[in-house]
Amino acid sequence: MQSIFLARQYWLLLLLLISPILEVFSATVTPNSYYPDNEARYDPSADPRSSSYDPSRSGSRASNIRSQSGMAGINPWRTASLTPVAGTILTVSDPITESCPSHWVLNEESCYKFVRSPKKNRNQARTQCKAYGADLVSVSSKEEHGWLTRHLHKTDPLHRRWYTSARQSSPGAFVNEGDSSSFNDMMEAILPDQPSTPSLNYLAYVYSDLHTEWGLLKVEGDEALQYICEIPLKLVQRLKENLVERTSEFGVYVSDPRKVPHAPVFTQQPKDAMFDLVKRDIINYVSITCLAEGYPHPMYKWYKEEYEDNIAVSREIDPMSDRRFTVSGGTLVISEPDSIKDRGNYHCRASNEFGTVTSESVQISFAYVAEFNLLRSPEQGNQFWGKAIFCDPPQHYPDVHYYWARNFFPNLVEEDSRTMVSYDGNLYFSYLDFIDRGRYSCNVKSTVSGVGKNGPLFTLEVIPLPNYQQLKFANNFPKAFPESPIRGQDVRLECIAFGYPVPSYKWSRRNGNLPRGAKLSSYDRVLTLPAVQPGDVGEYVCQASNEKLSIEDSINLSIQAKPSFTIPLHDQFMAEGEDLLLECEAFGIPDVEYEWLRNSELLNIETMSPEDAERYTITTSVLQILSVKKSDEASYQCKASNQLGAAYSAAQLRVFKLAPTFRKQPLETEKYAAEGMNTTLECNPEAAPVPDFVWRKNGIRIGGASRTEVLKSSTLVITSVTRDDAGNYSCTATNVYGSASSSGRLIVLRRPEFYRAPPEIIRTSVQENVILECEAYTDPILDMAYYWRQNGLRIHTDDRTYLRNLAYMQGYDPDYIFRKRAKQQMDRNLYQVSSSRRVSNLLDFVNLREPPFEKGYRPGHLLIPNVTLSDSGVYECVAKTPVATIAVETIITVDGPPGPPGGVTAVDVTSTMARVRWTDGASNGRPIQMYSIQGRTHWTKQWRTVAHNVTAKIINKQNSRREYQLESVLSPWSVYSFRLKAFNELGYGEYSAPSPQVNTKTDIPFIAPQDVGGGGGKTGDLTITWKRLEREDQNAPNVRYRVFWRRVGLDPERQFKKHDIPATNTRNFVVVLVDPVKYFYTEYEVKVQAFNREGAGPISEPVVIYSAEDMPQAQPTEVAAYAHNATAINVTWVPIEPTRDNIRGELIGYRIKYWRKSDEETDNIIRLNLGAENSATIVGLIPNTFYWVRVMAYNGAGAGPESERFLERTWRFPPLTAPNAVEVSPVNPSTIRVTWRGITPSTSEEPLTGYKVKVWETDQDFTKANETFLPIGNELEVYISDLTPGKIYKLRVMGFSRGGEGKMSSPPWEFQMGDPEMLRGESQRVLGGGLSSLLTAVLPLVISALLQR
């Protein structure tokens, strides 16, 4: 048994080892029951290793590689048929890659440094660039100019000016001083229309608002500007050597990284603190904290900044001399703070044996809110005029919130479209109305402590005024809060206008879009810009509009910025005698100034010894120390400051004497290289000073051979590697303190090559699927991975199809991997952040699409499902191995619907016609056949098709300008924008951008007023109504209306009368007076016609309406009433004759007036009875009470004369006692017997007439219950039949009399028919006798049914 078990284990191990081989070389595949039918499965016709391979199924059909049958298991390295793809290799990676130093930007063959601070004049800027071994940028090609302008567009939203090396050599001719190249080909980059002043000899990049682009501006060179340095990539190694960056672990061997010796570095800067004077009884201290890391652990001291003789000094805080101060760690605690002594700026210093650093300054302040001035005069304003009421707040610090109360606190004023409380605390009304009268008070609340103060109440009086205020902006609006915002603050732009009617508001930004994240609030009066940045500067425009007028005003937003470092300092670990260059750069608005500190003391060359003064050089943001010494070791800080504050960047300088050692970074034991490629062997020992290096191969020193080179950085470069380059290599490093060696082995392998590639060009159309197949071979010892790029962006692929096919070929459940992923709860939104996002472990961007790119059946295959136009471009298949990376490209062209047309304009615009012109967009591979045009007016702001499936004529063959004539489809007196889309055989494309707005001319109204009608009003009125023309139908200003009417009923008229309504009348009705005695409720024909400034429009069709009604003139007769029950009376009458003189309109119904006999008639209650019915029931009356009743007819004008009154009494109370002892027993499956105990009426009740038993289904309403009557004098039992077996019922018993139904038994009896065991009542009792009866009835039925079978 043990041997069998071992054999099984060996077979399993063998299967695991050969399964990947089978996956790669299998020629046939056996179907697997695990593979779902609806999933993609392996296709032999798409596999070049299969005998059924069909090249048309693969993107490799254009390749010169063809598969041979019977290739399964053949080593591709030894098969002549797998010839490498010739001429398709696009890129071959070279490990020798030159890169730019930190804070330099690479483009083509140069590195660029954009120096923002400090600004320098042109000569100073060039001197600074040369200090780096570079020079001012030489713009020598259009491609370089394009890259520079794009970079500035992305990185300089403030549109500053940047020096270049261009200098005017002769009038109108420039030369690049940086590399002495000609500037003749770059004259187009100079902005046009510049003065030819002789002193303007230099060129600087500047952004032109007029041309909306970056260009070169002629400047004198004396002004301090930003500048751009450039150094060729071939010279960058010298720059790198001057900027060697070493870590704090250099020359130190410590197992615990937390104990690496290091000078202090702040990890937490202190923050401003505020002491609330109101809460002194609760919290009577204030504290500020700074934290720094370093080893040994730093010690802390705190300093207060003061001024003596206008000179800033820092005084150390000594807790021993003042008990109120405590310093614990990095925390300063001030007990019992004094608002006079302790207010001010503070900073801390952290020190250890390697140096001292200074923190940023913070402020300790004191919060308070003083009292209001309680004397306040009343306010007044005019009706329909704007009003501003000032708060006059008390003194306070810091800011407060404002709350306005009306009449009493806290009845706060709520903001609406007319009312607003500004951030400055003032209350604004767009216009006043009588509803605004009252007593007001302004109240404030501290933003720190929540303590509030209530202002005095004062009255606001509104004075009536016949006219109203024209639209105008309120005091100094629009405004910005704060007025001078600092980067990172939220900015609130407010706009409010005075005028009637209430205006609406719209915010925009001149020459640009609103910043991302901008929010509108307070009825669009407030625009909030969160966390503003320098790029948000600009002119913001507020437009206020109402029905009468539209106005606009703007505010220029300027943003300040506290200093922040764009290039911080880095620690320097150097050998004695080397030269140190420390450089910092900070951004701030206003511009920053620089100072240098050494161990927190100002570095002043004038106070140094002569020897040190010669070695130290300070040039604003650059500190240079020649031939560093051990005594130079310290913490150095660059201080950048402006009027908003200061920022610090720190670096530690350590000076070493260190013999070379490879302890940390020996040579690689084995290094792989590929034939024909380049490779590098790096030698990086720790040493100070930098040692000399000697390379040996197999013990023989390597000289300057044609294919080998030793760089200054000690790296050995071997180009065009051959098999002969394999061997053992050693590097020996030697300096004045000693030497050391390290060695490793170089192994040369065959480089990877493609044997299958997609066609060079693929043409397809939208909605198609495209498969790209790419395969390469490499040395079996190496791993190889594939990935794809589109237009330089790396493609993220969905690998589910690939994994399913792989599992299928290996005989596994294809869904296993996905179930495993689900258990691990993988983040499916990993790549859903944006359409192009940086991935930390990649050097390129990731390209996404929806649906996603898919990995094909093989690792190098790519499926592009449902192709769109955006999928066009250059695709690269990249095969990557540890020794080389190769790529092959294909160009995919996607045909689709046309792109959006451009340059849409409208010309020759009349009232209803226009010529629309445009230039075709991309045809996307198919000829354009026709167009669809839409228009949008400022009235509706909705797009409407004005021409569809139309062709256009070419009016300019040079630029393919097209035109189409719109005929009689436009609305006069409108502001139009047009857009259109083009059509080809693949469908319609996207709409163009809207055209510039054009105005159609005015014209007469084209349509008559709609919804003409009328009627109603008081007697003698003829009311005519209509719907006013919509704004887009008015066709011109000064719209007015004319109404026509004539009698067509009684005494008909032949001619229409008319009445003109002035344009100032904005109502949609008019009242014409007629004879109220004769022509009440008389038919009239009416019409309405619209006019405007251009003339009359069409007249509406005649509509018949009626003049106003008169009240009925006749009264109902023979009114009678009789009691219905204890609370209701039935009333009858003889209706009035339905003649015109009697009704005088349209009869609505009758009114019944009733009141108790004991009350006055004025206490009556009216009941309306609609329609011509001559009877009604009055309910809700009091039992055993006499009521008077009158009846009258009524119509739309009111009620006619009242009838004679009639007296009637209601019956006495119905039974007030409910029957009890209710019992229910079964008789048969559909019948029950009900018994109960009777009741005896009292003297206040009507004599008992009988009983009612009500039964209803539980799922129905009580009002649908079936009633069984039992007259008085019978035995108190009833039988209820025709019940449905199995259903659940409820039952109640009640008495009744002339007074109505009495009180019901309670609770309801609930039972189920057909239950063989019990009838369930409310008390859930088992009815023994009932059960016997039920069994007696049911048993014969059951036996009979059985016998019939």
Q: Identify the helix (H) or strand (E) that includes residue 458.
A: strand 458-463
Q: Identify the helix (H) or strand (E) that includes residue 1073.
A: strand 1069-1073
- pLDDT recorded at residue 447: 87
Give the separation between CA 536 and CA 551, rounded to whole angstroms: 24
Bigger pLDDT: 985 vs 44: 985
Each residue of 555-607: pLDDT tens digit?
Answer: 999 999 999 998 899 898 888 988 888 888 888 988 899 999 999 999 988 88
Query: Of the given ranges (198-202, 284-288, 640-644), which has the lowest mean pLDDT?
Result: 198-202
Confidence of residue 233 (pLDDT cuts 50, 70, 90): confident
- pLDDT recorded at residue 173: 85
CA separation, residue 1302 to residues 30, 1210, 1253, 1296, 1299 (Å): 87, 16, 12, 5, 8
| 733 has a pLDDT exceeding 90 | yes
Give the separation between CA 579 and CA 242, rounded to whole angstroms: 8
* Three-state helix/strand/coil letters over 50-84: CCCCCHHHCHHHHCCCCCCCCCCCCCHHHCCCCCC
Each residue of 400-420: pLDDT tens digit?
Answer: 999 999 988 888 898 899 999
Cβ contacts of 205 within 8 Å, gap of 6 or more: 148, 149, 152, 161, 162, 164, 214, 215, 216, 217, 228
| 153 has a pLDDT exceeding 90 | no
| 364 has a pLDDT exceeding 90 | yes
Q: Among 215, 238, 105, which residue's Cα sits nearest to residue 166? A: 215
Strand, helix or coil for residue 344: strand
The tokens describing 60, both together, are: 């490799």
| 38 has a pLDDT exceeding 70 | no
**β 299-308/344-352 pair status:** antiparallel
Q: Identify the helix (H) or strand (E) that includes residue 824.
A: helix 816-824
Stretch 184-193: mean pLDDT: 84
Q: Are the C-beta atoms of 714 and 732 separated by less than 8 Å?
A: no
Stretch 1119-1148: mean pLDDT: 91
Residue tagged 């005494």 (tokens): 1051
- pLDDT recorded at residue 238: 58
Each residue of 53-88: pLDDT tens digit?
Answer: 343 333 333 333 223 233 333 333 333 334 555 434
Q: Are the C-beta atoms of 862 and 797 separated by less than 8 Å?
A: yes
- The DSSP call for residue 550 is E
Give the separation between CA 935 and CA 978, rounded to whole angstroms: 5
Q: What is the mean pLDDT of the chain?
A: 84
Q: Among 504, 538, 502, which residue's Cα sits nearest to residue 518? A: 538
- pLDDT recorded at residue 461: 93
User: What would the DSSP string read from start to end of 684-732?
Assistant: --EEESPPEEEEEETTEEP---TTEEE-TTS-EEE-S--GGG-EEEEEE
Q: Are the C-beta atoms of 593 and 638 separated by less than 8 Å?
A: no
Q: Rounded to 5 degrees, what angle do the CA atoms 341, 347, 353 make?
A: 135
Strand-pairing partners, residue 543, are 506, 552
Give the separation between CA 233 and CA 107, rounded to whole angstroms: 9
Stretch 1148-1157: mean pLDDT: 92
The tokens describing 517, both together, are: 């994240």
Q: Among 910, 1045, 1034, which residue's Cα sits nearest to residue 968? A: 910
Confidence of residue 877 (pLDDT cuts 50, 70, 90): very high
Confidence of residue 41 (pLDDT cuts 50, 70, 90): very low
Stretch 1196-1219: mean pLDDT: 92
- pLDDT recorded at residue 237: 64
Cβ contacts of 718 within 8 Å, gap of 6 or more: 673, 678, 679, 680, 681, 707, 708, 725
Query: Of the given ranges (16-20, 114-118, 176-180, 1081-1085), which has the lowest mean pLDDT?
Result: 16-20
Cβ contacts of 140 within 8 Å, gap of 6 or more: 176, 179, 181, 182, 183, 185, 186
The tokens describing 486, both together, are: 């600092």
Give the separation between CA 494 and CA 184, rounded to whole angstroms: 51
Confidence of residue 910 (pLDDT cuts 50, 70, 90): very high
Q: Among 898, 917, 913, 923, which residue's Cα sits nearest to residue 987? A: 898
Stretch 340-345: mean pLDDT: 91
- pLDDT recorded at residue 974: 92
Confidence of residue 257 (pLDDT cuts 50, 70, 90): confident
Each residue of 103-146: pLDDT tens digit?
Answer: 889 988 899 999 887 788 999 999 889 888 899 999 988 889 99
Give the separation between CA 828 and CA 808, rounded to whole angstroms: 24
Q: Are the C-beta atoms of 936 and 919 separated by less than 8 Å?
A: no
Each residue of 454-499: pLDDT tens digit?
Answer: 999 999 999 988 888 899 999 889 999 998 899 999 999 999 999 9
In this structure, the number of other CB atoms found within 10 A of the CB of residue 1304 comes to 17
Query: Percent of the chain scored above 90 by pLDDT?
Result: 54
Q: Rounded to 5 degrees, what angle do the CA atoms 935, 939, 942 make?
A: 45
- pLDDT recorded at residue 245: 61
The tokens describing 509, both together, are: 């930004």
Give the separation between CA 735 and CA 1210, rounded to whole angstroms: 128
| 261 has a pLDDT exceeding 50 | yes
Burial class (CB in 10 A: 0-12, 13-18, 19+), 404: buried
| 619 has a pLDDT exceeding 90 | no
